[in-house]
Amino acid sequence: MATMPQRQTDYRFFSPAIPIVIDNGGFNFRAGWAGESDPRITFRNLVHRPRHKATGEMVTIVGDHDPALLKYFDCTRSSFRSAFDSNVVYQFEIMEYVLDYAFERLGAEGSQVDHPILMTECVCNPLSSRSKMAELLFETYGVPSLAFGVDAAFGYKFNQQKGICSEDGLAICSGFTTSHIIPFVQGEPVLEACSRTNVGGYHVTYYLKQLLSLKYPYHISSITWEKAEELKLEHCYVSFDYAAELKLFQKGTKEAEEKTTFWQLPFIPPSQEEEPSEELARKAALKEKQGQRLRDIAALKKFTRISELESELHDLEDLVQQLEEVEEEEIYPFLSTTVYNSRQELESAVHRVTQSLRKARGEPLESEDKLDTSLSEKYSLINVPDSELTPEQLKEKKKQIFLKTTSEGRLRAKQKKFEEELLREKQNQQDEEKRLENPELYLEETRAKYRDLSERLEQRKRLKTNGSRSNGNNNSSGGIGRGERLNSAQKERMRLLTTAAFDRGKGEDTFGAKDEDWQLYKMMSKDYDDDDDSFEEDEAELGRLTTRLQEIDETFVAKSDMELLQGTLEIPWPRPLTVEDYKMTLGIERFRCPEILFQPNMIGVDQAGLDEMTGVSLRRLSTQYTEAKNSMCNSILVLGGSSIFPGLESRLEAGIRKIRPYLSPLKVVRSMDPVLDSWRGAASYAAAMEFPTQIFSIQDYYEKGESGLRQYQIKYSL
Amino acid sequence: MEPEVVSSEMLLSPIFSFKKVQMGDKYPKGQARGRHWKHLKQILQAENFQAYANGKPNYLNIEAPPSAYPSKKFCDITGFEAPYVDPRTTLRYANPEIFKRIRMLPNEYVQRYLSLRNAAVVLR
């Protein structure tokens, strides 16, 4: 990419007869004086209109920019715009900016640009584009005369002058957005037989960029357009035989490894954990202090609670004492002053407070034997047979039975829990022993158990959701409805529903009267899973295994974390990132990207590639030129910015040889400078003496206008 | 304007002596400029090439025809030759390991791979 062109200072030394030669390319814009060997100014044919941060005004920047200076501008709203759509100029406002810049860099002075202009255009430029360009040049810049020509043709003529190709030949020009094949007969291009494919250097770079971004989504921000272009220029090549080259890489041969290049991104290892020991000690001390503080607060709270409870207990005991001293008749009035209504309540309150005191102190809870004594009092009516009781007492008895059964149930549950705890403790102990004696085996076993369990859970989950977890497009399975119906559980449900409906028959719907109906209903319900309980158990087991493994195994990654990382195509990394992860491999991308010039189908462009296009072009030549075909194939010239891939000519030769008759003459050469030859050819054309006969002057424009432009066609051999 | 920006001369001046009509007058501020310009497709439609000069080369005549040979199918993920197609996503793949990876891809990546081949589902 060119650096910023300097302002030329010798504009006034060029007489108004000397034409300015412009190569208006899709990639680079080149301009200079006729007769010189190199263009004076070259820049990217792009315009950028950012907003200046300080003043807020919109400014225009043409061509390459210095990234350092861009910090003064807000580039978020604006993007680089080109005047081209494919290879045709359509945006003349941008074209005007570009021309402004070009003339200014050339040092233009005076009230108008007073030189004839030779401009390049694409093959068979649509009339509206050509006329708008003419209008721009004539009316805004005051140019006295114009000439339009095809850049590839100029390049060919230039090489013909140098003797690289002859007057009958073929030009294969691969540009930025398109590639052309132009046959030449007796020095003139035969435009009827031209052919164009809409694949060019832009598509190659874009393809490379997309391939790398998809392969390394982690580094997607480092793979910019400019970087992809750089990589393309440096590393891409055209393979002589694409299929064979692919096989080399597929087998992973040594040759393939030699051809692979790597791109190492800058890698900064994450800050190490080994800080200087003072730091560590300080941090540890801080943590310790915080822990201590927390513990102090907890102890304080506990202490206050204990003292509160103690005082309460003390009060209650006093009350009990007083109660005992007081006589029978005075119990109620005495008690009414306090909160408690009967002696029993008081005693239960005492009991409660002692229990909580014990808990606060951390002593084990004593069993509920105190309750037992009151139990027998409460349930006194149970043992008495029904016949001896009044109706009220019967009710009382029922209540007591109920209470007893519930409390017994509670007791039983507590006991069971206690037993389970013991069992689990025992199991844990066993596990620990096993682990201590054979850590490796234990690890393996746990891992295997974890794997099995997680797979089972996954399977069940998959059955439930019908397997549509990652790929949202169910198109091939015929839509959601059909997919659901195929599930076995769903099938079972449907069967139940239909049989139930069938059995019911017409008439009243008595579903729900019998108990079996409720069973059926449960089975039919969507939310019911007969595996429900075991499902939950398995999940609990899985959770336990996960924590266990996380404790003892460093390389363990929980399944849920793995799923998050499956967005990338790479293996999830439980280990920290290394230098290796920042290295990008360019293996088959090196020759896969330029291959699209020969096989545009690879990117979905339904046209013939370069070698096939030559056949098409030769076929399009009318029969009068048949004898010339042999001599034409003897001088095939390759030009254009996107033809500098190594190996292109040999590939082209092989491809064209397949199309031509056996042993007919064939020679493919590259032009001297594929990039600059077009401009040089145009410059030497403009410097020729007969050039003024080929121009379209401003008078012609005013007289004939557009139709004059339509018929305008230059003769290339002067 | 910062001095280094001015000295680098990278900004385009709005007024030039050699122009007869300045940019500011031609395109008054406030009007959206982008929509004035016809894109290539519209230009070609407007040209109406069938109306005149049959046989003379024009922009559309010159276009290369589709390839006469059946296209080779290449794997979308790795680039090797791909004899197989995944029916669910229509991605092409070369061997079963790649197939496993395809099935684990989220939909966004599937569409990006397909768009490389111009085969993505475009919702307009």
pLDDT on residue B36: 75
Numbered ranges of CATH 3.90.640.10 in chain A: 206-267+577-601
For B67, the token pair is 């390839």
Three-state SS at B92: strand
Q: Which of A99-103, A154-158, B59-63 has the lowest mean pLDDT?
A: B59-63
* B52-61 per-residue burial string, b: 16 or more CB within 10 A, e: under 16: eeeeebbbeb
Radius of gyration over every alpha carbon of chain A, rounded to an integer in angstroms: 46
Q: Which of A226-235, A320-329, A575-584 has the highest mean pLDDT?
A: A226-235
- Average pLDDT on A258-270 reads 77
**Residues B15/B16/B21/B26 CA torsion (nearest 10 deg):** -40
Report the amino acid identity of residue A255: E
- Average pLDDT on B36-51 reads 84
Which of A59, A195, A609 lies at the smallest CB-CB distance from B62? A195
pLDDT on residue A440: 74
Radius of gyration over every alpha carbon of chain B, rounded to an integer in angstroms: 26
H/E run at residue A350: helix A343-361
Contact present, A41 and A657 (Cβ < 8 Å) = no
Cα A704 to Cα A146, A516, A692, distances in angstroms: 14, 98, 18
Contact present, A45 and A84 (Cβ < 8 Å) = yes
Interface test with B, best of A473, A559, A566, A611 (most B CBs within 10 A): A473
H/E run at residue A675: none
DSSP conformation class of A253:
-
pLDDT on residue A469: 40
Three-state SS at A41: strand
Q: Which of A33-42, A353-362, A517-526 has the lowest mean pLDDT?
A: A517-526
> What sign does the dihedral B52-B54-B57-B58 (CA atoms) show?
positive
The rounded distance, in Å, linking the Cα atoms of A155 and A159 is 6
Q: What's the residue count for chain B?
A: 124
pLDDT band, residue A557 (cuts 50/70/90): low
Residues 6+ apart with CB under 8 A from B124: none
Which of A110, A191, A214 lies at the smallest CB-CB distance from B113? A214
B chain contacts of residue A472, beta-carbon cutoff 8 Å: 107
Q: Is residue A311's pLDDT more than 70?
A: yes
Q: Which of A242-251, A333-342, B25-34 has the highest mean pLDDT?
A: A242-251
B111 forms beta bridges with: none
B chain contacts of residue A16, beta-carbon cutoff 8 Å: none
Min Cα distance A363 → chain B (Å) is 56
H/E run at residue A584: strand A583-586
What CATH architecture is A206-267+577-601? Alpha-Beta Complex (3.90)
Which of A55, A567, A608 lies at the smallest CB-CB distance from B106? A567
The rounded distance, in Å, linking the Cα atoms of B76 and A207 is 12
The rounded distance, in Å, linking the Cα atoms of B89 and A140 is 54
pLDDT band, residue A460 (cuts 50/70/90): confident
Q: Is residue A603's pLDDT more than 60?
A: yes
Q: Is residue A515's pLDDT more than 80?
A: no
Q: Is residue B83's pLDDT more than 70?
A: yes
Q: Hey, is the C-beta of A248 within 8 angstroms of any chain B C-beta?
A: no
Find the largest Cα–Cα distance for chain B.
Answer: 68
Find the largest Cα–Cα distance for chain A.
Answer: 144
pLDDT on residue A475: 39
pLDDT on residue A301: 92
Residues 6+ apart with CB under 8 A from A480: A474
If phi > 0 it is left, if psi is from -120 to 50 it is alpha, else beta; for residue A79 that is beta
According to the 3-state scheme, what is the secondary structure of A143-161?
A: CCEEEEEEHHHHHHHHHHH
pLDDT on residue A569: 45
The rounded distance, in Å, linking the Cα atoms of A702 and A659 is 49
- Average pLDDT on A442-461 reads 79
- Average pLDDT on A596-622 reads 90
pLDDT on residue A670: 92
Q: Nearest 5°: phi and psi at A407?
A: -65, -35
Which of A60, A140, A599 lies at the smallest CB-CB distance from B12? A60
Of A624 and A716, more confident: A716
Contact present, A172 and A142 (Cβ < 8 Å) = no
Contact present, A172 and A179 (Cβ < 8 Å) = yes
Of A558 and A705, more confident: A705
Kindly give the residue spans of alpha helices, DSSP state H, lying in A190-276.
201-215, 225-235, 242-251, 254-259
Cβ of A69 within 8 Å of Cβ of B8? The answer is yes
Nearest C-alpha in B relative to A250: B80
Numbered ranges of CATH 3.30.420.40 in chain A: 1-45+82-151+674-718
pLDDT on residue A459: 78
Residues 6+ apart with CB under 8 A from A355: A365
A chain contacts of residue B27, beta-carbon cutoff 8 Å: 93
- Which of A:68-97 have CB within 8 Å of B? 69, 72, 85-86, 88, 90-93, 96-97
A631 forms beta bridges with: none
pLDDT band, residue A156 (cuts 50/70/90): very high
Q: How far is CA B8 from the centre of its chain?
A: 33
Q: Hey, is the C-beta of A566 within 8 angstroms of any chain B C-beta?
A: yes
Nearest Cα to A232, choosing from A197, A200, A198, A186? A200
pLDDT on residue A599: 93
pLDDT on residue A419: 92
Write the pLDDT tens digit of every residue in A97-145.
999 999 998 888 888 888 999 999 999 898 899 999 999 999 999 999 9
The percent of residues above 90 in pLDDT, for chain A, comes to 31
Q: Is residue B44's pLDDT more than 50?
A: yes
- Give this complex's ipTM: 0.93
Contact present, A161 and A152 (Cβ < 8 Å) = no
B chain contacts of residue A601, beta-carbon cutoff 8 Å: 67, 71-72
What does pLDDT average to over chain B?
A: 84
Q: Is residue A29's pLDDT more than 90?
A: yes
- Average pLDDT on B114-118 reads 89
pLDDT on residue B34: 55
Which of A69, A566, A567 lies at the smallest CB-CB distance from B10? A69
Min Cα distance A31 → chain B (Å) is 17
Q: Nearest 5°: phi and psi at A548?
A: -60, -50
pLDDT band, residue A468 (cuts 50/70/90): very low
Kindly give the residue spans of alpha helices, DSSP state H, lying in A362-487.
369-378, 391-437, 439-465, 480-486
Residue with tokens 């996107």: A642
pLDDT band, residue A556 (cuts 50/70/90): low
The rounded distance, in Å, linking the Cα atoms of A397 and A16 is 126
The percent of residues above 70 in pLDDT, for chain A, comes to 80
The rounded distance, in Å, linking the Cα atoms of A330 and A7 is 118
Residues 6+ apart with CB under 8 A from A431: A442
Question: How many other CB atoms sit within 10 Å of the CB of residue A623?
Answer: 5
Q: How far is CA A274 from the centre of its chain?
A: 35
pLDDT on residue A478: 38
If phi > 0 it is left, if psi is from -120 to 50 it is alpha, else beta; for residue B9 that is left
pLDDT on residue A350: 80
Three-state SS at B81: strand
H/E run at residue A23: strand A20-24
Q: Is residue B119's pLDDT more than 80?
A: yes
Contact present, B67 and A133 (Cβ < 8 Å) = no
Q: Is residue A624's pLDDT more than 60?
A: yes
Min Cα distance A424 → chain B (Å) is 39
The rounded distance, in Å, linking the Cα atoms of A305 and A285 is 30
Q: Is residue A471's pLDDT more than 60?
A: no
What does pLDDT average to over chain A?
A: 81
**Residues A426/A430/A431/A436 CA torsion (nearest 10 deg):** 140
End-to-end CA distance of chain A: 33
Model-wide pTM > 0.80: no
pLDDT band, residue A476 (cuts 50/70/90): very low
Cβ of A602 within 8 Å of Cβ of B117? The answer is yes
Q: Is residue A373's pLDDT more than 90?
A: no
Write the pLDDT tens digit of every residue in A333-355.
666 666 666 777 777 888 888 88
Min Cα distance B111 → chain A (Å) is 11
Nearest C-alpha in A relative to B107: A471
Contact present, A113 and A143 (Cβ < 8 Å) = yes
Identify the CATH homologous superfamily for domain A1-45+82-151+674-718.
Answer: ATPase, nucleotide binding domain (3.30.420.40)
Cβ of B62 within 8 Å of Cβ of A194? The answer is yes
Write the pLDDT tens digit of every residue in A381-422.
666 666 666 778 888 888 888 888 898 989 999 999 999 999
Write the pLDDT tens digit of every residue in A3-26.
678 888 888 888 888 999 999 999
pLDDT band, residue A639 (cuts 50/70/90): very high
